[in-house]
Chain A
Amino acid sequence: MSCCFAKFTSNASSSCLPCLAQDKNARPLSLSGHVGFDSLPDQLVNKSTSQGFCFNILCIGETGIGKSTLMDTLFNTNFENFESSHFEPKVKLRAQTYDLQESNVRLKLTIVNTVGFGDQMNKQESYQHVVDYIDTQFESYLQEELKIKRSLHNYHDSRIHACLYFIAPSGHSLKSLDLVTMKKLDSKVNIIPVIAKADTISKSELHKFKIKIMSELVSNGVQIYQFPIDDETVSKINTAMNGHLPFAVVGSTEEVKIGNKMVKARQYPWGVVQVENENHCDFVKLREMLICVNMEDLREQTHTRHYELYRRCKLEEMGFKDTDAESKPVSLQQTYEAKRQEFLGELQKREEEMRQMFVQRVKEKEMELKEAERELQAKFEQLKRLHHDETSKLDEKRRMLEDEINTFNKKKAATELLQAQAFNTNANIKKDKDRKK
């Protein structure tokens, strides 16, 4: 039997940031010719392209603030949304999935809209539905991941990658509903605040408004999504954009002729607000950041930060730990087995209890029935006796009656006899009288 002595170098560095150069045990080597693995990123991209991409956006904002219009403008299609009423009793979320394609890239886009947000009189429960929805998506991913037979690469990822929070263009400050909602969501999703209907605010007001919003967010500890600045290729543009948050956007799907081009714009009697004009609004910036530059990062953050946090909390909540009381590493299976035994034990106890209760009940019922039977028997006896008494009384009466009848008959007979005798005697006397004459 050959024994195995496997000696292998340790794994890549255990720091969170994956950096191959930091691996102490892998020596850098120079190549003496062209090997060809520089095509690896292309291979990877080709594979992903054939599989398609997935992107999910959640739009939170009051009814009528322009969420659907902005989505239409952003993705250049008509998503066939109808206007919602203002009278929804509760906040609902409506999710719709679309397949978009641009050149050879296929995108499965899911847009989730809140319906009735901020319409209720009592807004205390408004954010809860949103939080629940986000958690549900994490939950279904977690369940898929924990299945034994799973197909993660075919799984339609429904986790929210970006949350666009629409701020009403009041020009003053954030509403308390906004603050509360964003605070609840900042650890679960990447929040990108936008100022909706920005064509109602003047430039100077807008500037003040933006500063006010950002300072309020900071002072309340709300962590919105920061565009990543660690990659040199995009750090410059991302840093600049970070300074423009929140983006003041205008959405429009109608086209107006400006000069000799048709542009997306909103036409007013006093002028035309061009959506794609950077002087008029920040729409182009939003599109750049959301789609062109950071879509992949948004997806990555959702998976590696928000989802991991959810997973960790959820598993810890259920009692799973990585190390047990003695700080020895405990595998998920061991914890699970312990829990399972505990659960089985409890189940057995409950079963026992139920059985006991059942037996008890049966006994009680039996006693009741016996009691009833006894009562019934007693009643029967009593009735029988009564009946018997009645019968004997009646018998008695009958006898008496018969006696009387007999007596009467005797008397009658006697009287008749007397009468007959008397008549005979009379008849004899009359006969005698007749003879004497």
Chain B
Amino acid sequence: MSSIGTGYDLSASQFSPDGRVFQVEYAMKAVENSGTAVALRGKDGVVFAVEKLVTSKLYEAGANRRIFNIDTHIGMAVAGLLADSRQIVETARTEASNYRAEYGGNIPVKYLADRVAMYKHAYTLYSAVRPFGCSVALGSYDEIDGPQLYMVDPSGVSFGYLGCAMGKARQAAKTEMEKLKLKDMTCLELIKEAAKIIYIVHDEVKDKHFELELSWVGATTQGRHQKVSQEVFAEVERYAKSALEDDSDSGNDDM
């Protein structure tokens, strides 16, 4: 799967003979080691669900959250090195604040995704710095442009998505997502499916304990990005757990 880039992988300012920048690829490997994060875009909003792996029972619940608020109307879910992603969050918040100071309004998420992508890309050009070992998904909703979802990876490339997944089980998550008709689903339907996907792809053997983080931004939240309320969270968790038990596509069945 991964080739050894001996000698051409020491800095981001070097190409390998077959035209790869190994440091960037190694950064993507760092993202692949983290807990899965999925984001889904539907008819009237965007939802985020993150499998936050908890490595010790001694940790306080709710610590080291992986979904952040950028300004009031944009949510950012991250995968990869958490400390690296915190810097991206700060940068994104500063960009949104500068946009508001200059133009007097909410920054469009497409524009912010571009700015974040440019910033991450800059760190892939020099040997003095290393690329960011994190992927971020940005989502927002407004009346005029509707829901929008973008993902930026460590190389600084950003795409708009209907549904995206990052982290260790992203292939499995993508397979589950492709079964859904995302365009016609409402936020409440989406968040249930997103939580279900996280429960399905979670590996009980390798990673025992995890905390589910859910958030959304859409017409139901009047365009504000926020954590899902206690009642909705309980309902969604129940749905996800029960769906996991009777879901015959979960792959745990004997063939």
| A, B co-complexed | no
